[in-house]
């Protein structure tokens, strides 16, 4: 008997500790996370039996060490499925800090405003370069706003009327708030829009740039200092202190170069449908799924998500 017990203990000592988790999330509008796909990923990573978070949409696989995500993506065979790796402990975060434009909403509000001045293509080209870290964010914002000097203030309401939320945005904010997380919208855009998005979705707080006007038209500038990359990092640090959590217990999401600092600083920084330079440098990214992916990455199940 003792020999059998010793053999069992010896075998157990070689079992790897599964202290990391790989979460697979499908773009539910385009594909299904099926058993065969999960099996390929398990084989590629020596992972555990899957824990299904949402049937056909999301699953966790425990792994012994951080997986090679290039290997995982190869196993996914170009299906529109995202893979996010994290430590198995401390997954649920106490603070969400989110970018607005092209993250929580689908558009770039400044580009949409420019459309009413006949300058959308010109300004959008500058926006794209700034978001891909090819231009200084603050200088690029000043340049674009100067082109819109004199634009009637009613353009702001017209732009807001056409603004759409990104899929999963409501669920992300509502679910994290329901689980006692502080939620903040921190944008390099403008308070005119963050105030409305925050109220619509229930964000606890918001920060952005303040447009200057004369009561009739835009003055082509914002109140200085501009809320840029470093200000987003400062917001993350201040809000973590306010919430009483360490940075490891924070989640940041964004798509542009001005988000790189907070994505690197947060416990879980996710590049969401991001510009190439951001996607390439982020520790985690969502290229296919909607914002519900951020919940599954924290281990939330379909039954946890609000509203459903």
Q: Are 95 and 239 in contact (CB under 8 A)?
A: yes
Pairing type for strands 205-209 and 250-254 reads unpaired
Backbone angles phi, psi at 91, to 5 degrees: -75, -40
pLDDT of 307? 87
Tokens of 230: 């470093």
| Active-site residue flag, 154 | no
Q: Are 284 and 271 in contact (CB under 8 A)?
A: yes
**Cβ contacts of residue 173 below 8 Å, gap of 6+?**
96, 183, 201, 202, 203
| Residues pairing with 61 in the sheet | 22
CA–CA separation, 285 and 288 (whole Å): 9
How does pLDDT run across 2-46, given as a tens digit for each residue? 455 555 454 444 567 899 999 999 999 999 999 999 999 999 999
pLDDT of 15? 60
pLDDT of 12? 46
CA–CA separation, 306 and 219 (whole Å): 41
What stretches in the chain show pLDDT beneath 70? 1-15, 308
Q: How far is CA 126 from the centre of its chain?
A: 23
pTM (two decimals): 0.94
- Which one from 60, 82, 101, 111 is the annotated catalytic residue? 101
- Which one from 60, 68, 82, 99 is the annotated catalytic residue? 99
CA–CA separation, 145 and 152 (whole Å): 13
| Active-site residue flag, 68 | no
CA-to-CA dists, residue 60 to 132, 248, 249, 272, 305, angstroms: 31, 20, 20, 20, 16
* Rounded CA Rg of the chain: 22
Q: Which domains does the chain have, with CATH numbers?
A: 2-87 (3.30.70), 95-304 (3.40.50.1000)
CA–CA separation, 260 and 210 (whole Å): 22
- Taking alpha carbons only, the member of 154, 135, 290 closest to residue 216 is 154
Helix (H, G, I), strand (E, B) or coil at 104: helix
């Amino acid at each position: 008997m003792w020999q059998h017990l010793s053999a069992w203990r010896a075998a157990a000592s070689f079992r790897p500790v599964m202290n990391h988790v790989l979460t697979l999330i499908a773009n539910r509008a385009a594909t299904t996370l099926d058993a065969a796909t999960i099996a390929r990923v398990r084989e590629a990573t020596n992972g555990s039996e899957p824990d299904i978070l949402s049937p056909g949409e999301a699953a966790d696989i425990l792994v012994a060490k951080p997986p090679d995500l290039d290997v995982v993506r190869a196993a996914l065979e170009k299906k529109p499925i995202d893979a996010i790796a994290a430590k198995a402990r401390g997954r649920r975060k106490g603070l969400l800090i989110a970018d607005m434009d092209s993250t929580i909403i689908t558009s770039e509000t400044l580009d949409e405003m420019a459309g009413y001045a006949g300058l959308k293509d010109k300004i959008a080209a500058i926006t794209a370069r700034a978001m891909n870290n090819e231009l200084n964010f603050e200088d690029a914002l000043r340049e674009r706003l100067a082109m819109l000097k004199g634009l009637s203030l009613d353009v702001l309401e017209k732009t807001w009327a056409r603004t759409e939320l990104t899929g999963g945005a409501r669920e992300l904010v509502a679910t994290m708030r329901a689980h006692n997380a502080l939620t903040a919208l921190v944008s390099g855009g403008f308070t005119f829009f963050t105030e409305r998005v925050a109220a619509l979705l229930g964000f606890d707080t918001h920060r952005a740039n303040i447009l200057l006007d004369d009561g009739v038209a835009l003055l082509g500038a914002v109140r200085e200092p501009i809320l840029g990359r470093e200000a987003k990092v400062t917001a993350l640090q201040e809000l973590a202190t306010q919430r009483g959590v360490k940075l490891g217990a924070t989640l940041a999401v964004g798509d542009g170069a001005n988000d790189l600092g907070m994505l690197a600083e947060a416990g879980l920084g996710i590049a969401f449908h991001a510009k190439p330079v951001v996607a390439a440098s982020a520790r985690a990214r969502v290229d296919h799924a909607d914002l519900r992916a951020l919940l599954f990455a924290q281990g939330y199940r379909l039954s946890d998500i609000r509203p459903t």
